[in-house]
Structure 1
Amino acid sequence: MRRSATLADLPPAPPETLRQRAAYWQYRSVWDAAATLPGPLARRLPAQLGPLWFRGASERQRDQVRRNLARVVPGASPSELTELVRQAYVSYARYWLDSFRLHRMDGGQVVAASTSEGLHHVDAFRDSGRGGIFATGHLGSWDVGALFTSQRRWGMVVVAELVEPRRLFERFVRLREQAGIGVIPLVRGGDMLDQLERRVRDDGALATLLADRDLTRKGPIVAFFDEPCRLPPGTAALARRTGRPVSAGAFFTRGDDGFHGYVRAPIAVADLDVYAGTQAVAAELEHLVRFAPEQWHVFVPNWLADREPDHPVVTAWRAGEDWRALARADWQQRRGRQGGAR
């Protein structure tokens, strides 16, 4: 089990291993080097590093990115897919560079360099005083987007899984706090939704959840780009607890140094069961990913056929049978074993 806690409640950090110490200083060296780059050089760097990363990546990883994007853009030709994969590496390089330089960015300048659509939907959450739920994915420039939202006083709060070495975790937490985000650490022992529910109900916060990858292999199997995929149920579950609607959105990069915030209209999922709510959120995520497929930074197996190829739902899907009924039954059985609610 896992439980959420405040940052002050975290247990003492265990002694660092040599490998963890080396990892920390590798991150620090890259972080510090990126932060001190002159602006014009930093803007050009992703276009130079991305293709090198693409060529140097393992065949297995490149093939996985290609398979993921082929599901998103099913009509792409082989040459178009290859270019899309290359662009994905460029975009991911831009993401990391922006993250490492975030503490040197000026919020006002970020806003001035940004375009947007649909942000009034989250403004309405803020102005209501009742908070809201924001579903997003591994898209665009997440950390810079957080800095942007702080300029609009959205009161964003996110969950961060506790990782070691602790110094690295604390550095990432400081980065997000400096960008105006509240952070709830995720540790072993309970339910992270308790803290999120309290922050939404009591503080009117914007609870923000990454909804495009299920790290536990326990989430409901829903249709994602017409193929069975496990997605995390937290967004739908939190909507049921709080009664608040869900808006999906992301902060994409545009050009060498610009950004574009994109937020979709809220959907009401509080009256749906968690399975149906997760399916509704999946449909919203599809719109985000299609908006800029090359900026979707999922370089690992994500769909059920890649992660659990022998699952009965995969067998039914491959046979062209009605796999959705099996998927819902799988979720109901799993929740029954855990003693969970709908």
Structure 2
Amino acid sequence: MNAAELGYTAAWRLLRHVPAPLAGAGFRAGADLAWRRGGAGVRRLRRNLRRVRPEASEPELDRLVCAGMRSYARYWLEAFRLPALDPAAIHARMRPATTGLDVAVAAMQEGRGVVLALPHVGNWDVAGVHVIEELRRHGLPAEMTTVVERLRPDPVYRRFVEYRESLGFEIVAQDDGRRAHLALTRRLRAGGLVCLIADRDLTGTGIDVPFFGDTIRLPSGPASLCALTGAQLHAAVTYFPPGGGWGATVSPAIAVPDRTAVPKATLELARAFEEYVAAHLEDWHMLQELTPGSRG
């Protein structure tokens, strides 16, 4: 077992037993240290935040980056503690701060698949637990399928797959194209749920869209899946409300009647992501480069 795998394994095993205030203080201290050191990820976060707030002074941007790193640290702390938390308790805490999900659930009750496309905001793993619990309470299959980027080294990737499978997610790797396609289309044609993080194009086949005054490329996969299977498309976001807990917003359905509508639907996703990121900027965990468009 290498050092990275050992560290992640220890965190999943041990942090669930550490009192939450103590663990939270430790992760905030780690976030502040990373912010002060200003490594590559912090610098990328700063550049991405600058896109959204070009008018911000340097001290204002400093505060945003620090808050963003603390939010990112909270995501990781929750990831390590989540398998030990009660899904019903998560659902009870999150449901009052969730809007729009009822429309997606209604579509599934009618036998139609649903794709939720999300940006890197908040804690999408917690949101997945909440959505699965919501489906269960409506008598729907308590399952969802998602695609993840394959991490290196491979043992760490396998640990993350095991972690998310323990939450009730079906996981397929982004670079396993045929298996991913079959799993996603099978789920949607059965009237099930697919959740996709969709604010970076990792395949090189995405669609150029405007994004905070620049041009980036978003994956066409969410809209293409809906055109292929007849599923209903929604943009969605999770976030950390003031005072603790979690919140989520699901957009009205985005029409994708056929493949010719895929570019327009992807543009609508980009507009929704702009709105969501601007509203929850401190929870935007974009420590990677956004995928530049051909005109970017």
Cα deviation, 1:7-31, whole Å, max 9, x if unaligned, reads xxxxxxxxxxxxx723211222333
3-state SS of paired residue (1:266): coil
Matched, 1:63 2:43: yes
Aligned to 1:277: 265
Aligned to 1:49: 30
Q: Please, what TM-score do these two structures have when normalized by structure 1?
A: 0.76
Cα distance between partner residues in 2 of 1:212 and 1:276: 16
Cα distance between partner residues in 2 of 1:242 and 1:74: 40
Kept in 1: contact 2:201–2:291 (CA 8 A) = no
3-state SS of paired residue (1:134): strand
Q: Which runs of 5+ in 1 are unaligned?
A: 1-19, 315-342
3-state SS of paired residue (1:254): coil
Kept in 1: contact 2:145–2:183 (CA 8 A) = no
Aligned to 1:32: 13
Q: 1:1-342 to 2 correspondence within 5 Å?
A: 21-58=2-39, 60-114=40-94, 115-153=97-135, 155-163=143-151, 165-188=153-176, 190=178, 192-202=180-190, 204-255=191-242, 257-271=244-258, 272-304=260-292, 313-314=295-296
Aligned to 1:326: none
Kept in 2: contact 1:140–1:252 (CA 8 A) = yes
Structure 2 counterpart of 1:206, which letter?
A: L
Q: Which runs of 5+ in 2 are unaligned?
A: 136-141
Cα distance between partner residues in 1 of 2:255 and 2:278: 22
Structure 2 counterpart of 1:90, which letter?
A: R
3-state SS of paired residue (1:152): helix
Of 167-176 and 131-140, the range deviating more from structure 2? 167-176
3-state SS of paired residue (2:98): strand
TM-aligned CA deviation for residue 121 of structure 1: 2.1
TM-aligned CA deviation for residue 274 of structure 1: 3.0
TM-aligned CA deviation for residue 201 of structure 1: 0.6
1:121–1:77: structure 2 CA closer, same or farther, 3 Å change rule? farther
Q: Over the residues paired in the alignment, what is the CA RMSD in angstroms?
A: 2.3
3-state SS of paired residue (1:55): helix
1:89–1:163: structure 2 CA closer, same or farther, 3 Å change rule? closer
Kept in 1: contact 2:113–2:230 (CA 8 A) = no
Structure 1 counterpart of 2:109, which letter?
A: D
1:171–1:64: structure 2 CA closer, same or farther, 3 Å change rule? closer
Matched residues, number: 287
1:179–1:234: structure 2 CA closer, same or farther, 3 Å change rule? same
Kept in 1: contact 2:50–2:56 (CA 8 A) = yes
3-state SS of paired residue (1:270): coil
Cα deviation, 1:191-224, whole Å, max 9, x if unaligned, reads 733321121112x111111110112344222212
Of 87-96 and 67-76, the range deviating more from structure 2? 67-76
Structure 1 counterpart of 2:10, which letter?
A: S
Cα distance between partner residues in 2 of 1:193 and 1:282: 23
Cα distance between partner residues in 2 of 1:189 and 1:298: 24
TM-aligned CA deviation for residue 166 of structure 1: 4.5
Q: Percent same amino acid among aligned pairs?
A: 34
Aligned to 2:138: none
Cα distance between partner residues in 1 of 2:23 and 2:155: 26
